C-alpha cells in the first residue's frame, strides 16, 4: 500500500522524492545525476536504509542523465542495502541511463525492471 510522499529534496538539476510502499522505499530521481548532484541521491538512499528500509526501489523513469559518479552512488547503496538484508531495484530506466549500466557491466549486479509497477510487484 502506498503511504504517499514522505520526503523530497532538490539540488539544482536533480530532484529526489522518497515514499514508502510496504517494506520498500521508493526513491524517485528526476533530472541529471552527476558529480554535482550525486550527494543528494546518496544521502537519500543511505537514509532509507538507516530508517530500516533495506529494499530500495529507484524509479529512474524521470532520470535524464547519469555519469560514473551517479553509478557509484547506486553501487554504494547496493552494498549498504545488501548488508542490511535487502537490495536495490532499478525501474524504468531511459535508454541513456541504461546504456551507462550496460557499458560498465553494472546491469548484471542490479535487479532491473521495465517499470516501477513491475518493481513493486516483485
The per-residue DSSP string of 25-80 comes to EEEEEEEEESTTTHHHHHHHHHHHHHTT--EEEEE-TTEEEE-HHHHHHHHHHHHH
Average pLDDT, the chain: 92
Count of Cβ atoms closer than 10 Å to residue 114 Cβ: 11
Least confident of 6-20, 51-65, 73-87: 6-20
Name the packing angle between helices 68-83 and 38-50 (round to 10°).
Answer: 10
Flag whether 103 is in a domain.
yes
> Among residues 71, 77, 80, 78, which one has the least CA distance to residue 34?
71
- What pLDDT does 122 receive? 79
Measured between alpha carbons, how far is 98 from 25 in angstroms, rounded to an integer?
21
Flag whether 2 is in a domain.
no
Phi first, then psi, for residue 61 (nearest 5°) are -60, -35
Does position 39 have pLDDT exceeding 60, yes or no? Answer: yes
Query: How many domains are contained in the chain?
Result: 1
Flag whether 7 is in a domain.
no
Q: Do 12 and 37 form a contact (C-beta atoms < 8 A)?
A: yes
What's the mean pLDDT in 23-32? 97
pTM of the complete model: 0.90
Flag whether 77 is in a domain.
yes
Flag whether 79 is in a domain.
yes
**Segments forming the whole domain that contains residue 112:** 15-121
Flag whether 6 is in a domain.
no
> Among residues 27, 32, 23, which one has the least CA distance to residue 5?
27
Flag whether 10 is in a domain.
no
Flag whether 9 is in a domain.
no
Query: Domain holding 102: CATH number?
Result: 3.30.750.24
Confidence of residue 3 (pLDDT cuts 50, 70, 90): very low
Amino acid at each position: 500500500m502506498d503511504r504517499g510522499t514522505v520526503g523530497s529534496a532538490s539540488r539544482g538539476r536533480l530532484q529526489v522524492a522518497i515514499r514508502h510502499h510496504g517494506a520498500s522505499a521508493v526513491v524517485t530521481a528526476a533530472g541529471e545525476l552527476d558529480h554535482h548532484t550525486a550527494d543528494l541521491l546518496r544521502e537519500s538512499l543511505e537514509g532509507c536504509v538507516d530508517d530500516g528500509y533495506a529494499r530500495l526501489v529507484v524509479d529512474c523513469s524521470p532520470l535524464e542523465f547519469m555519469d560514473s559518479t551517479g553509478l557509484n552512488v547506486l553501487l554504494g547503496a547496493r552494498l549498504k542495502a545488501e548488508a542490511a538484508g535487502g537490495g536495490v531495484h532499478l525501474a524504468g530506466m531511459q535508454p541513456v541511463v541504461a546504456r551507462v549500466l550496460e557499458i560498465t557491466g553494472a546491469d548484471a549486479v542490479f535487479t532491473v525492471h521495465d517499470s516501477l509497477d513491475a518493481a513493486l510487484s516483485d
